[in-house]
Structure 1
Amino acid sequence: MTTQQSQPIFIHDCGFHSAMGASHTQIHQCLSGLRASHMVQDAHILNTNTATVIGRVQESLPKIPQHLAHFDTRNNQLALSAMQQIEATVTDAIAQYGQHRIAVVIGTSTSGIADGEAAFQHKLQQGDFPEDFHYRKQELGNSSDFIAAYFGITGPCYSISTACSSSGRVFISAQRLLRSGIVDAVLVGGVDSICQLTLNGFNGLEALSNTLCQPFGAARDGINIGESAALMLLSQTPLSTPNVANIALLGAGDSSDAHHISAPHPDGLGAKRAMQKALDDAGLQTENIGYVNAHGTATPLNDSMESKAIYRLFADQVAVSSTKPLTGHTLGAASATEAAIAWHILKYDLELPLQHCKEKAEDIDVSLVETPTKLHGKAILSNSFAFGGNNISLIFGLIND
């Protein structure tokens, strides 16, 4: 039975910078396997002096404008690199709707912590913090405040931090803001940069891999952390370009299974509920989904439970892969990172990212993307699951006027 479809939310533009690069050519080459992303081994970032693989942005980042120097952090520089890609679109939206009719909602988990780490190191060595350091650079709202200040946006502005589902929840917030009529457009996304606090925390949980992560593989042994910025401008108004299909957020679903502070429910009950709610919100059935971009962290428990949850809904009738070997797990930016990947697949009709499993694990029942595959007009479902059982599933697709 088809459920009542909610009004789609149209995506007007997407800016994206990760370990895959910032240009469309770089991103598409990485997604197709023609080019390696910047997943590098780092032997110095952990307090234990053991090596781990991280997804680090390789390209130089733009400088923060002088009048916004109090926002100068690497995290905001990374955000700026994505902002500049969509600046013309945001400027047009401001001209159309007004600064006060646009909201900014950003997901993050690290904010400017890396700069705080450097400042504390300076204090230990020199006795004082650097002159340009202020604790507000570490506040979770710092990135959303910076983005709003850069564009001169005066509508609702806030950050969401629910660990690895942070930038998925921003899409639900955007839905509500738009459908309530509070605003006419929402600038959403996620940004997180590499910092020692997070890396050492996950190392303390024995969750890191010292090799490139292997989602759904028999030898999977942990995650790789990455950094990324991904931003999208959303509204309820479709693009006016003739003969161009609109990319839209078709539906979103969330759940909170609260099974454990850091582990998901082993049977994937919350994950399944989030996916089903997204399908219901979009008014779609499982056969309308052509690809599931899995959370796929490459930890034994996550991949096992996610496989169970996907199989309960889709059996083995949908293509599944995780793109975290290309970007690393970008934490609070993960949902937006994978939403941006979905946007690129839909806009440019790309083949689905392959899952390079050396050996598929016996506890994985889903059908992995192991040969070149296209969507054939179907939609993409993207999963993000976080500590505390905070689960988000988003569905993206094309709408032809």
Structure 2
Amino acid sequence: MTHTSQPIFIQDCALHSAMGMHNEQIHPCLSGQQRSNMVLDDHILNTQSATVIGRIQHSLPALPNHLMAFNSRNNRLALSAMMQIEDSVKQAIAQFGADRIAVIIGTSTSGIADGEIAYKSKLDSGDFPEDYHYQKQELGNTSDFIAAYFGLSGPCYSVSTACSSSGRVFISAQRLLHSHLVDAVLVGGVDSICQLTLNGFNSLEALSPTLCQPFSASRNGINIGESAALMLLSYQRTETALLGAGDSSDAYHISAPQPEGLGAEQAMQKALDNAGLAAHDIGYVNAHGTATPLNDSMESKAIYRLFGSAVPVSSTKPLTGHTLGAASATEAAIAWHILKYNLPLPQQQCIDKADDIEISLVEAPITLQGKAILSNSFAFGGNNISLIFGYVND
């Protein structure tokens, strides 16, 4: 086994999703004691059919006046997470310098929702709103906004590989830190709900009109959600760390996964190798678990080949919705909460487990048995990412 990485420590973490944005909201949702804001919407689809979506419930903060050129729902959502870790970022700037901190953000929607509103105004009145500019929906807009807000001048860019976008930012962070180009990296994912994405998935007949049911025999599609999740990473030791990351690109089909999960398995194995861990070191797998027949089947096969039925598995998509480009970072933040606060593993409410699902699902309250959590995100085109978070032994 080749150990090619060294732990990168999580200095701070922020999350704002359908579960909420504070520990007293997030933790009861993860433990199943409280419902998240997964709501039925019968207006957002062009077909007027209903689908369940994971909406942010809290009002979003306004941008500072000098940054109003960045004003979009996506950036206001990002700001709601940025404010949670602002003190930690300022401490890193004081310690390392603004030019030694990178910003890498994964997104798939950026400010498209604002573009939709602007184009409706154009169709209705003949003019775009005065404050609209196309740059708000460019994929790099949120990373540029974050850097501008904190006054950071290190490397700054966005990654957009569909649903693995904010997983790939962790690999980019590894490389920047290992090369000593920077001393800290602010990584994460931000995606807000927009009609373009929802109607696109609806055209693929991939949306569920009910709360999604990962790994269930009656699973019938995904729920889309919105989220912002950020982490500040550096080599400064803390109690939780990114231990390893793995990727693959099987390019089997533009929207369908490789049926046997070969690319998914390769990403997980590369993450284990990168972390210098064996399968028995993993105490929980947070599955991509979209509740589509093809994804759940292939992912369960891949997990079973690597881990058998020994490791507990669940998907947290019923709590947040599939947050698209923000999914990896959202589920990385969930892993951080479990590790930092010793939370019970999120349970899978699966009353009719599918016959082809051999993995062991978390169906009762249990805590993490093992040093690490593996989190999967798989995207269109076979762009697969697996991340491992955990504790570092002295």
> TM-score of the superposition, structure 1-length normalised?
0.97
CA distance in 2, matches of 1:108, 1:3: 31
- 1:358 Cα deviation from its structure 2 partner: 1.9
Separation (CA, whole Å) in 1 of partners of 2:2 and 2:391? 19
Q: What's the CA shift string for 1:175-216, capped at 9, x where partnerless?
A: 000000000000000000000000000000000000000000
**What letter corresponds to residue 328 of structure 2 in structure 1?**
S
Q: Distance in 1 between matches of 2:268 and 2:378?
A: 11
CA contact (8 A) 2:282 2:370 kept: no
1:91 maps to a residue whose letter is K
CA contact (8 A) 1:215 1:322 kept: yes
Cα distance in structure 2, aligned partners of 1:5 and 1:367: 30
Secondary structure, aligned partner of 1:284: coil
Counterpart residue number, 1:300: 293
Q: 2:37 — aligned with what?
A: 38
SS in 2 for 1:381: strand
Report deviation, 1:376: 3.0
Is 1:383 the counterpart of 2:383? The answer is no
Question: 2: CA distance between counterparts of 1:217 and 1:77?
Answer: 36
Q: Percent identity?
A: 76
Q: Once the 2 structures are TM-superposed, how far is the Cα of residue 126 of structure 1 from its aligned partner?
A: 1.2
> Which residue of structure 2 aligns with residue 313 of structure 1?
306
Are residues 1:23 and 2:22 paired? yes
Deviation at 1:3, TM superposition (A): 3.9
Give SS of 2:391's match: strand
Number of aligned positions between the proteins: 394
Aligned residue in 1 for 2:175: 176
Aligned 1:2-401 pairs, distance under 5 A: 2-4=1-3, 6-239=5-238, 246-401=239-394
Question: 2: distance between equivalents of 1:5 and 1:281?
Answer: 5
Question: CA shift at 1:125, angstroms?
Answer: 1.1
Q: In structure 2, the residue corresponding to 1:86 is in which secondary structure?
A: helix
Code of the aligned partner of 1:277: K
CA contact (8 A) 1:353 1:369 kept: yes
Deviations 1:99-122 (A, max 9, x none): 000000000000000000000011
Off by >4 Å, runs of 4+ in structure 1: none
Query: Which structure 1 segments of 5+ residues have no match?
Result: 240-245
What is the deviation of 1:377? 4.0
- RMSD over equivalenced CA pairs, Å: 0.8
Distance in 2 (alpha carbons) for counterparts of 1:4 and 1:93: 28
**Structure 2 residue matching 1:159: 3-state secondary structure:** strand
Quote how far apart the aligned CAs of 1:6 are.
2.2
Gapped runs of 5+ residues in structure 2? none
Deviation at 1:5, TM superposition (A): 5.8
Measured in 2, the distance between the counterparts of 1:400 and 1:361 equals 38
The answer (yes or no) to whether the contact 1:5–1:284 under 8 Å persists in 2 is no
